[in-house]
Chain A
Amino acid sequence: MTTDDRSWRRDREGLGVWNGRGKTAFAGWGMSPIDRRWDGVSMDRTLGEFCKIAAKNALDDAGLTPADVDGLFMCPDNMAGANSGISANWGPTRPYFAAPYDSEDGLTIVTNKWILANWPELNAKGNIKFAPDAVPAIGEGLGFTAQAVADGKCEVGLYIYTANNLDGRYRRGGSFAAPKAPGPSQWNNPWGANVIDLQLNTTFALTQYCQYYGTNWDDLMYPIVMTEHTNGLMNDWGFYTTNGASHLNREEYINSRPITTPAHIWDYDRPVNAAGAFVITTAARAKDMKQKPVYILNHNQGSGGAARSSSVTLDEYETFQRRVARMVYEGAGLEAKDIDIFNPYDGFSSFLPFSLEAFGWHGVGKGEATAFVNGDISVHGPHPYLSGGGNLGNGRTRTAMYIDSIEQLRGTAGKRQVTVKAETAICAFAPALSAAYLLLGTDPMS
């Protein structure tokens, strides 16, 4: 099993129940501090340092030491850059520093090689036996890690994910600044339709939704966005908790800076600089560990589908999201009525009505999201939607969905602990029509 080999991926319907269902579990999670941006000079706040902090916190949470880890799953991607991904090309050439900070690696990206070279305790006993390169981003990467543990590649897998943000603006350079549109971009960039950035297709799917179902953006989205900010403030690690609350309200939301009208700035998650880490181990080992095990019942990757023409239509979007939901349920052998905690991905708020209705969480059907979210979706009410606060409520770490699901199922979510049953959870970093979901449970169901 390598990251080049794609056979580990569960990326289509008809695969049946996952053969690893209930055989692995989350045993720990940890976060670094969250900065709005890396300032380019503070060596104690580089992503390399943040990875070590997050990993140590995850191991502490699991009651483990670095010597217990035998699988290292370091995602070397970075999300911010000129196009996305290459921070070195973002702005002016960065001054580098003495080793180990003499390249991007350790500053704004982190590879497994950097971690192993610069955190000697992690492999002090030669304990790391599996450390693949090119581990995917957190949505697919946690599934990859779970599959590796289920397949016996390692017994204690440490997955680390970084979010980077530097001075300047995200994704305004490179090919995005080019006066020409080659390849697939020739069909959208000429008109300013930058669909590589997923927000636009989903924005247009949601404007079609509002027209078709007779609702409007602000009535639908404000209760969702506000709930996320409220729930995020109940995380002690989130960006707004540690850097100051947003003080969002309906007036502020509606009048906030327009991006792609009708979407406002608060419909987009705030880029941050941080690292998160998770420990996944075997069900057998998890049973006797510090924390109550949270079993992984399914993982998925791939996509629900692609638009037939230039822009995705409402019908396509709904159809593809339902395919995603069927894949997620199929692999776990569960149905919508079985799901207690629902933390889908919210990098852009516009993803959320579609995932809610396609997964049918708490019985919400097509066109019913507006009524649902204008009811009681508070974390202590009957429908604790997005109990973790997601990216919108915590900053773009892409970890809140997982952390909250783990904590709710452990019963350790503190101020966020739901008052309804919390035995199963769906969580994701799955932009637009991505199928990168996890389904978790307190019962291994094996």
Chain B
Amino acid sequence: MPYIVPEPDAVSKPFWDAVQEKRLIVQNCTACNTMQYPPRPRCQECNSEALDWKETSGKGHILTFGILEDSHLPVRAADQPLNLAVVTLDDDPRINFYSNLPGTPVRQAVVGGAVEVTFEECPDGSLIHEWRMI
């Protein structure tokens, strides 16, 4: 699918570098041991800057989903109708990711369904983290 290509910044570069190696990592605060995604300069819980990176299980569940039928993003509109799901991470369900659920036809996603991380190719050849129903 023609994903819009994410542009890493100083904070997010380690995350996207790991994705290129097909690894899903998230930030982890060494002060309070809380994971967070998307990456931020500081911990949301304790405001510490002592943030490390932690491998995840790559397992999750579908929290909710909709179907994009008339997106404001013309690049993605070419794929419509398109699954758009919110997937929680089993390691810490307070963390969630957007996903197009590649491999799942529209209207066949299931709330509560189990998913695992996968890596899809963007138009520029870079990889992006995605989720597949299992």
Contacts and interface: CB of A to CB of B under 8 A. Distances in A.
A139 B12 CA distance: 34
B68 interface: yes
Interface in B13-46: 36-38, 44
A260 B75 contact: no
A189 B98 CA distance: 9
A64 B81 CA distance: 54
A178 B37 CA distance: 24
A245 to B, nearest CB: 24
A263 B68 CA distance: 10
Contacts of A184: 38
Nearest to A196: B72
Looking at B5, B64, B123, the one whose CB has the most chain A CB atoms below 10 A away is B64
Interface stretch (A116-124, A202-210, A328-336, A407-415): A202-210
B69 A309 contact: no
B63 A194 contact: no
B6 A186 contact: yes
B66 A260 contact: yes
Contacts of A182: 7, 9
B73 A194 contact: yes
Interface string A301-317: 00000001111010000
**Interface class of chain A by DSSP:** mixed
B96 A207 contact: no
B119 interface: no
Interface in A374-415: none
Interface string A89-111: 00000000000000000000000
Nearest to A310: B96
A312 B65 CA distance: 13
A261 B37 CA distance: 26
B76 A262 contact: no
B36 A189 contact: no
Contacts of A172: 72, 74
Contacts of A311: 63, 86, 96, 98
A313 B96 contact: yes
A190 B3 contact: yes
A186 B69 contact: no
A258 interface: yes
Nearest to B68: A192
Contacts of A2: none
A260 B64 contact: no
A413 to B, nearest CB: 35
Given A187-B38, A260-B66, A176 B72 contact: yes
B56 interface: no
A192 B84 contact: yes
Contacts of A186: 6-9, 12, 38
A152 B70 CA distance: 48
A204 B76 CA distance: 19
A133 to B, nearest CB: 29
Contacts of A309: 36-38, 94-97
8 contacts: A186-B12, A189-B6, A190-B98, A192-B71, A203-B66, A260-B70, A308-B94, A309-B95
Given A193-B98, A308-B94, 20 more contacts: A178-B4, A179-B75, A186-B9, A187-B38, A189-B6, A191-B99, A192-B4, A192-B71, A194-B72, A204-B64, A211-B111, A257-B70, A258-B69, A258-B81, A260-B68, A260-B69, A261-B67, A309-B38, A310-B37, A311-B86
